[in-house]
Amino acid sequence: MPFYRFHIEVALPQQVVMERIRALVRKQPGFWQSFGEQWKPQDPPSPPFIGSVEEESFKFYRDIRYRNSFLPRVQGRLVATPTGTRVNVIMFLHPFVAVFVTFWLGMVGFGALTIFSAGDLFTLIPAGMFLFGAALTCGGFFSEAFKAKRILSDALLDPAIPSVTNC
pLDDT at 166: 36
163 within a domain of the structure (yes/no): no
pLDDT at 165: 42
Higher pLDDT, 136 or 65: 136
Poorest-pLDDT segment among 8-12, 105-109, 114-118, 145-149: 114-118
> Does the structure show a pLDDT above 80 at 155?
yes
> Does the structure show a pLDDT above 90 at 10?
yes
Higher pLDDT, 147 or 119: 147
Mean pLDDT value across residues 31-37: 65
CB 124, CB 108: distance < 8 Å: no
Mean pLDDT value across residues 32-42: 63
162 within a domain of the structure (yes/no): no
Question: pTM of the entire structure?
Answer: 0.84
152 within a domain of the structure (yes/no): yes
> Does the structure show a pLDDT above 60 at 93?
yes
164 within a domain of the structure (yes/no): no
Q: Domain tally for the chain?
A: 1
pLDDT at 162: 57
167 within a domain of the structure (yes/no): no
151 within a domain of the structure (yes/no): yes
Output phi, psi for 13, to 5 deg.
Answer: -65, 155
92 within a domain of the structure (yes/no): yes
Residue 99 structural domain: 3-157
Mean pLDDT value across residues 29-42: 65
pLDDT at 41: 63
Confidence of residue 61 (pLDDT cuts 50, 70, 90): very high
